[in-house]
Amino acid sequence: MSSPALERSILHVDMDAFYASIEQRERPELRNCPVVVGGSPQGRGVVAAASYEAREFGVYSAMPASRAYRLCPQAIFVKPRIAFYAEIGQQVRDILGTFTPLVEPLSLDEAFLDVTGTEKLHGSAIEIGRSIKQRIFEELQLVASVGIAPNKFLAKIASDHDKPDGFTIVPPDRIAEFLDPLPIRRLWGVGKQSESRLQAFGVETIGDLKRFPIDTLTSTFGEKMGRHLFRLCLGEDKRAVIPDHEAVSISHETTFAEDISDREILRAVLQQLTDQVARRLRRQAAKAGTVQLKIRYENFQTYTRSVSLPVPTDLTRELWEAVRGLFETRLPDRPLTVRLLGMGVTHLHRGKTHQTLLFGNSELKRDRQLDSVRDKIVKKFGVQGLQPGTGLNPSRDTRSGPYGQES
């Protein structure tokens, strides 16, 4: 067993109801009101985020806006300003970067930090966590929840443990005490279908799963997933915190609060994930050689599809065309009822590479200019101009932000 001095100190920082909280900050009349950031409930709009006041009525992200209205007719629907949220997200990352260079962003509103060995500069992991919360509140007038643990899996669960405004510590010698009482759905990868299958065996909590025969677990969910779930119920996770500039791949995925079967909504979500990945590529001055699609169905079956590009690219449109082709033509011929959707890129090339000419010189130049302008807007101005589409109407071509379940 590792000595305490060698234990990692991992933080997961997760902004509380990020989009909705920004709107409440900017518009005081929205404070303490149920706020839904998203498309119109009169159309095919989707919820991008919901304030905690709206969540009390059962409203969550990726839900059709029409259903959100039925659940909470008094909700105030606000058109999203993704570029503005991205600017605030960068300000959050700037704060995190003052404590350690090992910051791994997961989306606009959450990130892992490895603060192992930084005690002499910034104090203990607990002191760093409290300092981060304080600075975010004082400088941005927003609230973050923080989880502190020996690894990424535990830190992420900890940050969600006492939201909003949470601060949860999982010491190495109290992992079982923390995990065992939690419901099995808190494990990464356990959705409604897999939860029901485990409950049929009498497994309700993570502690129950720990006592479950691993052979039965692997025969039920497959060798890889079965062992993955067993390691998680023991609190094991060896993944390192990898900052953007060291990443060998970039991906974003979202697990829906409720399974989604509408192809247009799924397509719109995939566009937003692609936009995030493309933006991170350009921020790293990297280009992708391979595009990947990940999809998990309601029955827990997970498929990954990939395609190699003729020439590495960082253009949003080229990445979108590639992943859209995977979505439209490379999945099983069956109705889609999806729990998780993800988009990623691998085989990253840093430095100068010749851009592919999939769309010709004029379109290539236009796309690069469009991406450049939009990146500058996100970085400097935080306004919603020059965004193609609303970002929340799945019937339109949109590239403006994530739809994943916001914390």
Q: Report d(CA 9, CA 115) in Å as an integer.
A: 6
Catalytic (active site) residue 127: no
pLDDT of residue 189: 74
Minimum mean pLDDT range among 39-43, 283-287, 387-391: 387-391
Tens digit of each residue's pLDDT (9 = 90 or more) over 258-284? 778 888 888 888 988 898 899 888 888
Kind plus residue range of the DSSP H or E element containing 392 = none
In a 13 Å sphere around the CA of 306, the CA atoms on its Cβ side amount to 13
167-169 and 249-260: which strand pairing? unpaired
Average pLDDT of the segment spanning 187-200 = 81
Say yes or no: domain 1-171 is CATH 3.40.50.2000: no
Q: For residue 275, what are its two tokens?
A: 């936009």
DSSP type of residue 173 = G
Q: Domains of the chain: which residue ranges?
A: 1-171, 182-233, 247-381
144-149 and 167-169: which strand pairing? parallel
CATH code of the domain made up of 182-233: 1.10.150.20
User: With 80 as the cut, is the pLDDT of residue 257 above it?
Assistant: no
User: With 90 as the cut, is the pLDDT of residue 73 above it?
Assistant: yes
Average pLDDT of the segment spanning 44-73 = 90
pLDDT band at 332 (very low <50, low <70, confident <90, very high): confident
User: With 90 as the cut, is the pLDDT of residue 365 above it?
Assistant: no
Q: For residue 234, what are its two tokens?
A: 């023991």
Average pLDDT of the segment spanning 62-78 = 92
Higher pLDDT, 378 or 317: 317
Higher pLDDT, 115 or 250: 115
pLDDT of residue 350: 80
User: With 70 as the cut, is the pLDDT of residue 227 above it?
Assistant: yes
pLDDT of residue 221: 80
Sign (positive or negative) of CA dihedral 38, 40, 45, 47: positive
Minimum mean pLDDT range among 217-226, 263-272, 395-404: 395-404
In order of 118, 150, 188, 205, 235, the CA distances from 173 in angstroms are 21, 10, 22, 20, 11
Q: Report the share of the chain in percent with pLDDT over 70.
A: 85
DSSP annotation string for 245-295: GG-SEEEEEEEEEEEE--HHHHHHHHHHHHHHHHHHHHHTTEEEEEEEEEE
pLDDT of residue 392: 39
Reference 341, options 297, 276, 309, 406; nearest CA is 297
Q: Report d(CA 151, CA 359) in Å as an integer.
A: 44
Tens digit of each residue's pLDDT (9 = 90 or more) over 81-109? 877 888 899 899 999 999 999 999 888 89
249-260 and 338-350: which strand pairing? antiparallel
Average pLDDT of the segment spanning 215-226 = 84
pLDDT band at 397 (very low <50, low <70, confident <90, very high): very low
Q: Report d(CA 30, CA 181) in Å as an integer.
A: 37
pLDDT band at 379 (very low <50, low <70, confident <90, very high): low
Backbone angles phi and psi of 273, in degrees to 5 = -65, -40
Average pLDDT of the segment spanning 69-90 = 90
Average pLDDT of the segment spanning 192-201 = 83
Question: 247-381 architecture in CATH?
Answer: 2-Layer Sandwich (3.30)
pLDDT of residue 240: 93
Question: Which among 110, 253, 318, 406 is annotated as catalytic?
Answer: 110
Tens digit of each residue's pLDDT (9 = 90 or more) over 121-148? 899 999 999 999 999 999 999 999 999 9
76-78 and 35-38: which strand pairing? parallel
pLDDT band at 373 (very low <50, low <70, confident <90, very high): low
User: With 80 as the cut, is the pLDDT of residue 360 above it?
Assistant: no
